[in-house]
Chains A and B, each alone.
Chain A
Amino acid sequence: MSIGHTLLGLLESGPRHGYDLKRAFDEKFGHDRPLHYGQVYSTMSRLLKHGLVEVDGIEAGDGPERKRYAITEAGITDVERWLGTPEKPEPYLQSTLYTKVVLALLTHRDAADILDTQRAEHLRSMRILTDRKRKGDLADQLICDHALFHLEADLRWLELTAARLDKLRQAVVSP
């Protein structure tokens, strides 16, 4: 996720102090990984340098936490462009799992076992997410669902690969 764009987007509704930005970020997006103050201030100084934000006011005292930031016209355009640009789908073609399976086959290890162990691990994560979803609010549910659907996609790949192991073995071992 682009922290810069996210912070910029949060600034669109009005100027905020750095600590306020961090709090808003953590509350809305930082369920798993809250921001460090250092990240906020290094991001803000980069945005300042590019003219995407400006300092709207400084309270008495010193230190970066005294600054209040406001988004600029260029900043709004930048958020607009970011929101309008689709994310590149990650094809994961070089996935570690695929490598493990092929290596297992090449070295005559039990590839089915690797797949089974992995599916159990995936399902374990899915259980934790499902539980969190059950207890959480709508935001939690949406975030967990996103993760759940991705894990499910992996699992489907694991199933399919398990069903094709014999073919894959022939393909990688013989030539």
Chain B
Amino acid sequence: MTAPAGSLLAAEGLRKAYGPTVALDGAEFSIHPGEVVAVMGPSGSGKSTLLHCLAGIVTPDAGSILYDGRDLATMNDAQRSALRRSEFGFVFQFGQLVPELTCVENVALPLRLNGTSRKRAEQTALDWMRRLEVDDLAKKRPGEVSGGQGQRVAVARALVTSPRVVFADEPTGALDSLNGERVMELLTEAARSASTAVVLVTHEARVAAYSDREIVVRDGKSRDMERVV
């Protein structure tokens, strides 16, 4: 495939089946640097599978994915996981913070895995926590903070490496409107100021309204709504 002009991450013809279940059936996708794209659609339509394929977590049965001109299929596992560690950030519905670590250690973790010294990693982590207004929770463990606070810590962790793409799967799913909104504001603001692209899976229209554009996934097929209207 040739990626659409200017796109950072692009995919076409994606197919993925789990046994008899076809999760993706010819889905396509593309995103530019700094763009926030919402992935919407009914439950079970293949949104998370699409996100996992794009992020190199799941290998599709067919189709191709180009990240910054590189074909994910030609990379080996080590290369793909290096890519995930250094260029991608992740936020999921339930923060997935490591319970044994403090919040600042959680946020610093991706930097530590990339070989940054503890001191520098925690310094950068604190900066991000400040931007997400959770720096006062630095020394607490995830079990000692609220869901909304934990989610902001998770957003800080996703952004701490200054990734080029953030993959967020229902990042506000477990939050009330006000907290969900705050998380979206902070995520999109932080992303826009650093030209980070955000792939945002959500079934909530109010959350999708923070995006620049949306695609709808139905029965494993994607539809780019920009081309419809």
Contact = CB atoms under 8 A, between A and B. Distances in A.
B225 A123 contact: yes
A129 B209 contact: yes
Interface residues of B, number: 15
A117 B229 contact: yes
Best-buried of B185, B206, B211 by chain A (most CB within 10 Å): B206
Nearest to A126: B209
Contacts of A117: 228-229
Interface string A140-175: 000000001101100110010011000000000000
Contacts of B141: none
Interface string B209-229: 111001010000001010011
Nearest to A148: B206
Contacts of A66: none
Interface residues of A, number: 23
B52 to A, nearest CB: 23
B210 A130 contact: yes
A116 interface: yes
Given A134-B185, A163-B42, A126 B205 contact: yes
Contacts of B214: 120, 123
Given A116-B223, A129-B209, A124 B229 contact: yes
Interface of B: 42, 185, 204-206, 208-211, 214, 216, 223, 225, 228-229
